[in-house]
A = this chain, B = another copy of it.
Amino acid sequence: MQLNQQDLTGLDKEFRRAFINSLAGFRQAVLVGTISDKGQSNLAIFNSLIHLGANPALFGLINRPDSVQRDTLQNIQNSGCYTLNYVAGSDYQKAHQTSARYPVGVSEFEQVGFEEVYHDGFAAPFVAGAIVQIAMKFEERIDIKRNGTVMIVGSIQNVRVDKSLVEPDGFVNLSTAGVLVSQGLDAYFTTSPLGRLPYAKP
């Protein structure tokens, strides 16, 4: 089938939302842990993690300030820090449940059943037992004016990952650990490896 711009505009709103979101393909499911200036922890699932550079190690995150993601953006800007946590595929229902619109003053950690943990005096909470736990420092907010979304640029402060997952050349074997992948607004997956390939030469 073929849909042009006019067809897309004419689609039912919910259909278009599911279609365009899922059309963007597979992405890393990441649980973002933050803390408010009142000490209230927050955990929210994102699927918009972006690799920006390795040295310095910078990751981006797309945030929609008009959504349930608003609290996460505010906490990151106020506290200057946040955590990125990857969980196993078997936790996909708990991970998805963090996207519910809980009242302010309620921690998603408690509500969905992930345990919050703090490491080395870092202010933002981590997900206990998460396969990958990354401490991030807020560096820059980039406003994408065309549609009001925001890119949060952060630098990696600390990485915790089981040594057995890190291959001799530095590659982190997330597939072996069964790390959760998402697509669109509500679909979850694990991965099956096809292989790694040598640096491509003409």
Contacts and interface: CB of A to CB of B under 8 A. Distances in A.
B62 A52 contact: yes
A160 B5 contact: no
Contacts of A156: 5, 8, 20, 23
Nearest to A168: B15
Nearest to A8: B57
A35 interface: no
B196 A189 contact: no
Contact of A27 (B27, B86, B149, B196): B27
Nearest to A68: B200
Interface string A1-29: 11111001101111111111111111110
29 contacts: A2-B158, A5-B156, A8-B57, A14-B170, A15-B169, A16-B170, A17-B54, A18-B171, A19-B54, A19-B170, A20-B55, A21-B51, A22-B170, A22-B172, A23-B172, A24-B28, A25-B86, A25-B132, A26-B27, A26-B28, A48-B50, A60-B62, A89-B194, A92-B197, A98-B200, A100-B201, A187-B196, A189-B191, A190-B194
